[in-house]
A and B are shown apart, each in its own frame.
Chain A
């Protein structure tokens, strides 16, 4: 059993210090994922994700990594937020306060990511940037594996095109 599982088990038992340790460990990937999906509201949604994770702490059944469980909550939180506040192009907004400016080479890529629909963006972020396998990402996004693979393939084509454009310029 790894340290993450043991800490998550203690958090599931109501140990707030253990939960805070998990927050420190997983806040960066969760916030990065949400920033990619909804830059304007990512901080609020991320806070809600961890509050929800605390409320549902007994729902983590050790079926997979704790980080993936949090990502599932993050995705469903984003979807319900997105339904409530429909925005035509959420990723086109500037990054929230406190965020570091993106590295120069990634600007075009970020723009290309913003052009993808939220599902494809989420799939690309999980598989390319966060290193999840197709199976894990499909599980997080509650999509059939085939659908996830086609989303990733579509994102790859669009991002590769953006990358080529950067090199040509």
Chain B
């Protein structure tokens, strides 16, 4: 063992004797924080799922709206028919889907 090794051992022993810290309060506090963290993560996941569902439903409604608008009478040319009855029906159907049929986890 070199003199440096001996000195390192002595320093290590003295540094280790520099007091201790209580385990239980630290672990209890950390456990509480971990549980809260998990709850928050679950809520965040649910919010993202709800957002994804509603965004998809909205996008589907929008697509249906645009496509149906283009299926107007020939005389109307290619003008956008936003207020046709079929468009309104699809819009209502889409809204119903978005509100009522979204996954239960997203609520």
Q: How large is the interface on A (under 10, 10 to 19, 20 to 34, 35 or more residues)?
A: 35 or more
Distance in angstroms between the alpha carbons of A4 and B8 in the assembled complex: 27
Contact B14 A27 (CB under 8 A): no
Task: Give the segment of B31-39, B57-65, B75-83, B92-100 that binds chain A.
Answer: B31-39
Please list the residues of chain A having a beta carbon within 8 angstroms of any beta carbon in chain B: 16, 19-20, 23-24, 27-28, 31-32, 35, 43, 46-47, 50-51, 54-55, 95, 98-103, 105-106, 109-110, 113, 124-125, 127-129, 131, 156, 159-160, 163
**Binding site secondary structure of chain B:** helix
Contact A51 B10 (CB under 8 A): no
Whether, in the assembled complex, B107 has its beta carbon less than 8 Å from a beta carbon of chain A, the answer is no
* 24 interchain pairs, CB-CB under 8 A: A16-B38, A20-B27, A24-B23, A27-B26, A27-B27, A31-B26, A32-B18, A43-B26, A46-B26, A47-B26, A47-B29, A47-B33, A54-B37, A95-B19, A99-B19, A100-B19, A101-B19, A103-B19, A109-B14, A124-B15, A128-B8, A129-B18, A160-B7, A160-B11
Distance in angstroms between the alpha carbons of A32 and B16 in the assembled complex: 9
Residue of A with least CB distance to B16: A129
| Cross-chain pair count, CB within 8 angstroms | 93
Within the complex, the shortest CB–CB distance from A150 to chain B, in Å, comes to 14
For B33, list chain A residues within 8 Å (CB).
47, 51
Contact B25 A20 (CB under 8 A): no
Contact A106 B18 (CB under 8 A): yes
Please list the residues of chain B having a beta carbon within 8 angstroms of any beta carbon in chain A: 4, 7-8, 10-12, 14-23, 25-27, 29-31, 33-34, 37-38
